[in-house]
């Protein structure tokens, strides 16, 4: 495959970044409590539709192995309503939000010369810089 060619994971570059991300996640998983990180799907062919459906059905039917049915999980009082919950107190301190992560991608593209300057107010731009450039949060709080 030449550069920019498509494979089952997207472009060659997409596949490379996916593998690097998975390997890095596996490496830091024990330190940060990520649990088991399986990178094999990145290196193997996608499962046939019938096999994938059989696997997923275990999440919709009670009593299949040690999995709870998806409805039990969603209705449980001990499971947070969001798959990933981050305290607003933490996001206010760090500015690391999904919005700022998306904005970081846009700012990166501006810096690379392929997008226009984002029209955000200066304060919001500084908050995105804190996230994108890994600056101390005080950087965005300075007058």
Q: Do both 111 and 66 map to the same domain?
A: no
Q: Do both 96 and 137 map to the same domain?
A: yes
- Give the span between the Cα atoms of 44 and 121, in whole angstroms: 46
Q: Do both 71 and 104 map to the same domain?
A: no
pLDDT tens by residue, 46-55: 778 888 888 7
pLDDT band of residue 2 (cuts 50, 70, 90) is: very low
What pLDDT is stored for residue 66 in this prediction? 62
**23 phi and psi angles, rounded to 5 deg:** -65, -40
Stated pTM of the model: 0.45
In terms of residue numbers, what domain contains 142?
Answer: 86-143
Asked if 62 and 69 touch (Cβ cutoff 8 Å), the reply is yes
pLDDT beyond 50 at 114 = yes
DSSP per residue, 66-85: TPPPHHHHHH-SSS-SSSS-
Q: For the chain, how many structural domains are there in total?
A: 3
Q: Do both 19 and 61 map to the same domain?
A: no
pLDDT beyond 50 at 138 = yes
Q: Do both 95 and 141 map to the same domain?
A: yes
Asked if 106 and 74 touch (Cβ cutoff 8 Å), the reply is no
């Amino acid at each position: 495959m030449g550069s920019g060619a498509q494979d089952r994971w997207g472009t060659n570059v997409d596949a490379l970044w996916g593998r690097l991300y998975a390997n890095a996640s596996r490496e830091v998983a024990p330190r940060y409590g990520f649990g088991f990180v399986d990178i094999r799907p990145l290196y193997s062919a996608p499962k046939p539709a019938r096999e994938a459906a059989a696997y997923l059905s275990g999440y919709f039917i009670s009593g299949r192995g040690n999995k709870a049915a998806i409805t039990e999980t969603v209705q449980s009082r001990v499971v947070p309503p969001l798959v990933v919950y981050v305290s607003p107190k933490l996001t206010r301190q760090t500015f690391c939000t999904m919005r700022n992560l998306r904005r970081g991608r846009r700012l990166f593209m501006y810096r690379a010369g392929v997008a226009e300057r984002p029209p955000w107010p200066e304060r919001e731009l500084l908050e995105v810089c804190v996230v994108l450039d890994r600056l101390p949060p005080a950087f965005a709080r300075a007058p």
